[in-house]
Amino acid sequence: MSESIFASENDESPIQTIRQTMSVSTNDDGVAVVSFATNRGKGSGAQVMPVDQFGDYVTALEEIAESGIPEASEQTLSAAESLRQTVKQEDGIVSFRVRSGKGAKPAKVPAGDLTEVAALLRGSVDAVTAAGLKLAPPAPAADGAPAADEAPAADGE
Range of the domain at 109: 14-135
Indicate the length of the chain as a whole number: 157
Q: What is the pLDDT of residue 98?
A: 84
C-alpha 22/C-alpha 57 separation (Å) is: 15
> Of residues 17 and 43, which shows the higher confidence score?
17
The verdict on residue 117 lying in a domain is yes
Closest C-alpha among 14, 34, 32, 13 to residue 23: 34
**Is the pLDDT score of 71 beyond 60?**
yes
CA distance 74 to 86: 8
Total number of domains constituting the chain:
1
Of 43-47, 52-56, 124-128, the least confident: 43-47
What is the pLDDT, as a whole number, of residue 5? 43
| pLDDT band, very low/low/confident/very high, at 112 (cuts 50, 70, 90) | very high
In a domain, 27, yes or no: yes
Give the pLDDT of residue 81.
87
Beta strand ranges found along 27-99 (DSSP E): 32-36, 47-50, 88-90, 93-96
Reported confidence tier of residue 99, pLDDT bands at 50, 70, 90: confident
pLDDT of residue 27: 93
- Quote the CA–CA distance of 78 and 53 in Å, as a whole number: 7
User: Is residue 100 domain-resident?
Assistant: yes
* pTM for this predicted structure: 0.56
Is 70 a residue whose pLDDT tops 80? Answer: no
Q: Average of pLDDT values for 22-37?
A: 93
